[in-house]
Amino acid sequence: MNRSKYYTKELPDGYQPAKTVDVGEKRFAILMNLAATLLTAVVGVGGFFLKFAGDPGSAIPDLSNVWLFEGWLFAILVSLIVYLVLHELTHGIVYKILTGEKLTFGLKLSCAFCGVPDVYVTRKTALLALLAPFTVFSVAFLVPFFLLSGSLSFSFLVLFSLHFGGCAGDLYDTFLLLFRLKGNLLMRDTGPRQTFYIRSGD
Ligand SMILES: [Zn+2]
């Protein structure tokens, strides 16, 4: 398979770094987590009104005894950990299919990440890898949110909201790729840091 439209191993002549996004930088990590919290709150409240405006009480999980509530919290927590792993794996699967190159995975206090550090990927590859988990898990959480009812539906709203907020970094990179960075572009993704290169003269 000819992968040249997906990535290149060497940075071709004329490409200059135009923008770096790095969650290893404290200021950016704080801003990104603030954006994530805000997105989670807006999506969560919006979804709640959309589905439960008529009967808010039906959303609330059974709180009649403390074990039921703690069991619910525990189930949400386990689901989030599984989700986090699957989210990063989904980035990785797309990078692996399109490049075949070595991946890197990791976890920082501010985020989990997956990158393909030894190559420069094209705009198309970057967008596919960035948007894959956002798309897959939006569908995976929204379908049961709309189909189910009561506290089960509410639980999927909680997961969808946290997922949506958790994609803040992916969505920011996507925004840059679609609307800010014009011309011939390559991206190097080490996981926590994305560097965007633009061919000068374009
Ligand atoms: Zn991601």
The answer on pLDDT for 6 being more than 70 is yes
Residue 91 lies in a domain: yes
Distance between CA atoms of residues 177 and 126, nearest Å: 8
Got the DSSP string for 11-50? Answer: PPTTEEEEEEEETTSHHHHHHHHHHHHHHHHHHHHHHHHH
Tokens of 38: 């805000």
What distance in angstroms lies between residue 152's CA and the mean position of ligand 1's atoms? 25
Q: What is the mean pLDDT of residues 165-170?
A: 96
198 found inside a domain: no
Q: What is the pLDDT of residues 82-138, one digit of tens each?
A: 999 999 999 999 999 999 999 999 998 778 999 999 999 999 999 999 999 999 999
| pLDDT tens, residue by residue, 131-162 | 999 999 999 999 999 999 999 999 999 999 99
- Mean pLDDT for 14-33 is 95
What pLDDT, on the 0 to 100 scale, is given for residue 137?
98
Q: Is residue 191 part of a domain?
A: no
pLDDT for 76: 96
Q: Residue 7 falls within a domain, yes or no?
A: no
d(CA 116, ligand 1 centre) in Å = 13
Distance 91 CA to ligand 1 centre (A): 7
CB 181 within 8 A of CB 48: no
From ligand 1's centre to the CA of 164, what distance in Å?
10
Is the confidence at residue 1, as pLDDT, over 70? no
Task: Let me know if residue 105 belongs to a domain.
Answer: yes
Q: Is residue 69 part of a domain?
A: yes
Confidence of residue 202 (pLDDT cuts 50, 70, 90): low
- Cα–Cα–Cα angle for 160, 173, 16, nearest 5°? 170
Number of domains in the chain: 1
The dihedral sign for the CA sequence 133, 116, 113, 20: negative
Task: Judge whether 16 lies within some domain.
Answer: no
Cα 177 to Cα 5, 29, 77, 81, 164, distances in angstroms: 16, 20, 33, 29, 19
Q: State the chain's mean pLDDT as an integer.
A: 94
Any domain includes 9: no
Residue 165 belongs to what domain range?
31-49+60-114+126-183
Kindly give the distance from the C-alpha atom of residue 2 to the centroid of ligand 1, in angstroms, as a whole number.
Answer: 26
Is the pLDDT reported for residue 53 higher than 90?
yes
